[in-house]
Structure 1
């Protein structure tokens, strides 16, 4: 491996680590991202960190504060609603395309993802907060499996960014809607297996809208 390739590999690993820490709340909204502290925490050079923070700024997870440096992008009800609207737009389109083009292997992956999610939802419903992060990762995986048959790399990349921004709000509020959300996921699975895109889109809109209302009711730090 060349030095350039090795540096890129390390940079990608640190980029993913910082991005995940922002999404899952280990780096909190509005937190100053001081380069020296980040260097120690992620074992990366200042040059690499500057490149990563600039990349995360372009994605909307980090805000550049001129001469003051960088901070984690803050949260607000307005921003949450805009992100939810974009998620509905992108995911609805991707669902329709995926349901049309998905093959048997796609169906198997969707069923497997739902099986794991359902098991974790049961544990969350029983009060097991130790699986909170794993539950949200499984929730993310299920929604991604539903649309991955769409065949559009650009659509999947755009959706991934918006979904992760939405997920960050959910992690701010410890959002778990219990049996209501679980039943919506089951209905999405049934619609996928029936290739009923119209029903799936209707369920998805309700699912996301209810999630936004729940997050706003729970409240989050602004």
Structure 2
């Protein structure tokens, strides 16, 4: 079963998922979470052993990831994880704001009681994980990654645009990669943003929600760029 791509990490394998799809999800997760760092070479033989898949299937998967700009195909030199840059981060932030704000308008106009219930449930799960993170339980970071997307996705789910949600989910994950590389949770500021966004969603206040998303993303960029590894990036 294929859903919006974002939160590939969150999905549970089912009987319909092919080996290739499962490896695609795992490899993509490893890139987004920084397990495979930016600029690192993806050696096909080692990757074949790590992910238990044939070289030909692995090449196909890497080409799919290349289409998302998560992997660079270097011709005869093989593949490497895409590097990061301040410019790409800014572009991803702008694109996420445009897509998410548009999806909010569509979703708020058509959302029903079931949609509201899904937002309440998603925020409840997210808030519980954020409380653990604020208490210093950094082992919950992966849970936060999953719950953060589930919450944002729930808010825009009633937009009923598969294409829009697919593009948003891809951009969301690519933006998330920068947060994971920065390696620190933004703390109470993020929690407060999510609470306000939750309230605006239930009030169907699209303009208010758009303002929160815009500041939420912009503040995230500023937080990332304060980390030492990004200070010298072009």
Structure 1-normalised TM-score? 0.94
The answer for the alignment partner of 2:46 in structure 1 is: 37
Report the 3-state secondary structure (helix = DSSP H, G, I; strand = E; otherwise coil) of the residue aligned with 1:140. Answer: helix
1:70 to 79, 86, 108: 79
Map of 1:119-130 to 2, 5 A cutoff?
Answer: 119-130=128-139
Map of 1:1-222 to 2, 5 A cutoff?
Answer: 9-220=18-229
Question: In structure 2, what is the Cα distance between the partners aligned to 1:154 and 1:15?
Answer: 20
Question: In structure 1, what is the Cα distance between the partners aligned to 2:109 and 2:16?
Answer: 41
Change beyond 3 A, Cα 1:193–1:7:
closer
Change beyond 3 A, Cα 1:219–1:96:
farther
The runs of 4+ residues in structure 1 deviating greater than 6 Å are none
Deviation of 1:8 after TM superposition, in Å, equals: 7.7
Deviation of 1:175 after TM superposition, in Å, equals: 3.2
RMSD: 1.5
Question: In structure 2, what is the Cα distance between the partners aligned to 1:103 and 1:24?
Answer: 34
The answer for the alignment partner of 1:3 in structure 2 is: none
Which structure 1 segments of 5+ residues have no match? Answer: 1-5
Structure 2-normalised TM-score? 0.90
Which structure 2 segments of 5+ residues have no match? Answer: 1-14
